Amino acid sequence: MGKLLNLVTPLHEATQRDYLGRMLDEKVHCMLIAKKYGEDYWDGDRRYGYGGYRFLPGRWKPVAEGLIKEYSLTEESSVLDIGCGKAFLLHELKLMLPGIKVCGIDISEHGLENATAEIRPYLLRKRAQDKLPFEDNAFDLVISLGTFHNLRLFELEISLQEMQRVGHRGYLMLESYRNEQELFNLQCWALTAESFLEMSEWIWLYSHFGYTGDYEFIYFE
């Protein structure tokens, strides 16, 4: 089993959230809109998702720097991002290592179409719960940030096994909780999550399905 990292948590903790406000704002309706992963989810009202997810130079730079340092990435490396969204993290990696080979997959047509022009040619519309169209160990590093908790338990088996199969190393970040308050906050806030698991349950699942890469959890305190 890999190790617990702290790459995205500082970025996550910098955002303020009104948990009860979201729960009381026609939550089921908002969830149904969000799960279409269309324009409303990315660039519509905040009640449906991100509330305008645009590229902000440098926002993802600390995460990119962390990945480069942790995995000794170079101009010769290759990285796959499962559930890349608008692929802003891949864009930052390319800015720092122009020669690096990147690929991103996501279910959202709107997300992929609104990636930066430099990254768009490297993106594919694919579901995270399907077999990936890549050879074994095709990438030096496979990452996935905030995607796998949007899958149901029976879908996680192939997702984790495919992530393991196509990469030499892996880094997986998910939403989780450590106590009842964090579970409550997570359930209030999450619009697209299907699997609400405590951190030890996720770690057990990784081992059970054969994922041996690194991992991180973000919490809603």
Q: Where are the domains of the chain?
A: 9-25+58-218
Handedness of CA 194, 132, 113, 57 (dihedral sign): positive
In DSSP terms, 172 is beta-bridged to 144, 215
Residue 198 carries which DSSP code?
A: B
Rg, Å, the chain Cα set: 17
Angle among Cα 209, 211, 214 to the nearest 5 degrees reads 150
pLDDT of amino acid 59: 95
- The helix/strand/coil state of 158 is helix
Handedness of CA 9, 12, 14, 16 (dihedral sign): negative
pLDDT of amino acid 39: 98
Residue 79 carries which DSSP code?
A: E
pLDDT of amino acid 1: 84
pLDDT of amino acid 187: 97
Strand locations in the chain (E): 78-82, 101-106, 123-125, 139-145, 167-175, 214-218
Fold for domain 9-25+58-218?
Answer: Rossmann fold (3.40.50)
Longest CA–CA separation in the chain, Å = 49
Per residue of the chain (221 residues), give pLDDT as tens. Answer: 899 999 999 999 999 999 999 999 999 999 999 999 999 999 999 999 999 999 999 999 999 999 999 999 999 999 999 999 999 999 999 999 999 999 999 999 999 999 999 999 999 999 999 999 999 999 999 999 999 999 999 999 999 999 999 999 999 999 999 999 999 999 999 999 999 999 999 999 999 999 999 999 999 99
d(CA 19, CA 185): 6
Tokens matching residue 27: 């939550």
| Exposure class string for 15-42: b at 16+ Cβ within 10 A, else e | eeeeeeebeeeebeebeebbbebbbbbb
- Chain length of the chain: 221
Helical pair 199-209 and 153-166, crossing angle rounded to 10 deg? 60
In DSSP terms, 102 is beta-bridged to 79
Whole-angstrom CA distances from 104 to 11, 91, 116, 138, 195 are 21, 11, 12, 13, 23
